[in-house]
Structure 1
Amino acid sequence: MRSHRKAMYQGNTNEPVKDYGGEPFVTNLKNEALRNNNFLRALWTGKHLQVTLMSINPKGDIGVEVHPHVDQLQYIERGTGLVQMGNSPKNLTFQRRVSENSAILIPSGTWHNTINTGSTPLKLFSVYAPPEHPKGTVYKTKYDESSVNSQENVEAVNAPVGPENIENVNAPVGPDNQADNVQ
C-alpha cells in the first residue's frame, strides 16, 4: 500500500489545498485542472470514486504504473501527449496520441503511462474507481510521488519506456490518428 505525504498549499500559491470528498460538490473541472500546478492533487475523494488534478511538465510523463484493482479515466484539458498501455511495464504495445478533450480509459490491471509531447504543461484530471490515493493527497512534483511510490511499481520505474524512447512524438494529433499505432 502506498504511503503518501500531504502538502499544505497548492503549487506556488497561498491557496489552501482541500479535498472536498464526502461533501456534495460542484465545480468547473476544466478550470480546476487548468489552475492546478501540482503534479497530482486529490480534489474529491469518496468511498467509491476519486477525482485528481494533474499537471505534467513539457517532455515529462506520469510514469509507468499499474492499478491492480482500480479503473481509471484520464481527461486532457490542455496540451498534447502520448498514451501507452500494455500487459507489462516493458510491453506497452497500445499507443495513441492525445490532445485537448481526449478521454483515456484504463482498465484495472493495465500498465500505462501518459507522456507530455508538447512544449507547455499537460493539464488533465483523472477519475479513479475505487480511490487510488488517500484523501487530501498532494504531490508538488513527480519526484514527491515517486519517493513514496509502492513496491509493486518499482519495476515500472526502471522500465525502458518514456519520452526519451518514443519516436515521432511530433506527429499530428487529432481524431484521424486514433487507430494508428505509434511504434
Structure 2
Amino acid sequence: MKKEKIEMKDYGAAPFAVDLKAAAEQNENYRTTLWTGDHFQVTLMAIPPRGGDIGMEIHHGNDQFIYLVDGVGHVQMGKDKDKLTVDRKIYPGEAIVVPDNTWHNVINAGDTVMKCYSIYSPVKHDHGVTETTKEDAIDQEGPLEGTGE
C-alpha cells in the first residue's frame, strides 16, 4: 500500500484523520505544528543525528506526550534538574510522558535523524509554527522554558 503524501501544515481545529507515523516520517523540520485545537496540539519533530536534542527544559502548564517513530533517543527527566529520575534510551514504538513542571531533554543517540510526534495539553505553540532547526525555534519562540538558552 502506497503511503499518502501529507501536506506539512497546521490543520487547525477542523476534524482531521491522519497516519501520524507517516506524517512524522515525512517531516523534515525541527518542529511542525500539525493540528492545533482548543485543548491540545500535535507537533512533528525531526532531531538531528549524533547528539541533536530538544534541550533541557521545563514546561509550566503543559503535559507532553512524545512518541518515537524512527531513530534512537535518550531521554532524561525529573522534577529536580540536578536529580533526574529517568535516564534511558528509547526506541521506535516507545513513548515519553512528561508531566507538567518536569525537567526533560530528548537527545538523538543515533546516526540518523530521529523522528517523533508530540502531543501537548493544553496547546503549547502558536498555530502554524514551522521551525526548521532548534536555533530557528529559539529565535521564533525565545529561550527554552526554565533556561536562558
| Partner of residue 22, structure 2 | 31
**Larger Rg belongs to:** 1
Indicate yes or no: 2:60 matched with 1:78: no
Q: Distance in 2 between matches of 1:45 and 1:74?
A: 16
Q: Distance in 1 between matches of 2:112 and 2:145?
A: 31
User: Higher strand share goes to which structure?
Assistant: 2
* Structure 1 segments of 4+ aligned residues over 6 angstroms from their partners: none
Of 119, 139, 144, which aligns to 1:127?
119
Give the AA of the match of 1:127.
Answer: I
Q: Is this contact kept in 1: 2:8–2:27, CA < 8 A? A: no
Q: Is this contact kept in 1: 2:55–2:144, CA < 8 A? A: no
Q: Distance in 2 between matches of 1:103 and 1:33?
A: 14
1:86 deviation in Å? 1.4
| Partner of residue 52, structure 2 | 60
Alignment of 1:92-171 (within 5 A): 92-147=84-139, 148-150=141-143, 152-155=145-148, 157=149
**Superposition RMSD in Å:** 1.7
Q: Which runs of no fewer than 5 residues in structure 2 stay unpaired? A: 1-5
Task: Provide the TM-score with structure 2 as the length reference.
Answer: 0.88
1:16 deviation in Å? 6.6
Q: Distance in 2 between matches of 1:143 and 1:102?
A: 27
Cα distance per residue 1:77-114 (max 9 Å; x no partner): 00101100012334333212101001110100001000
Of 83, 96, 103, which aligns to 1:91?
83
1:45 deviation in Å? 0.3
Alignment length (residue pairs):
142
Mark the CA change 1:89 to 1:106 in structure 2 (over 3 Å): closer, same or farther: same
Q: Is this contact kept in 1: 2:36–2:127, CA < 8 A? A: yes
Mark the CA change 1:107 to 1:18 in structure 2 (over 3 Å): closer, same or farther: same
Aligned residues: percent identity?
A: 44
Give the AA of the match of 1:82.
Answer: H
User: Higher helix share goes to which structure?
Assistant: 1
Task: Provide the TM-score with structure 1 as the length reference.
Answer: 0.73
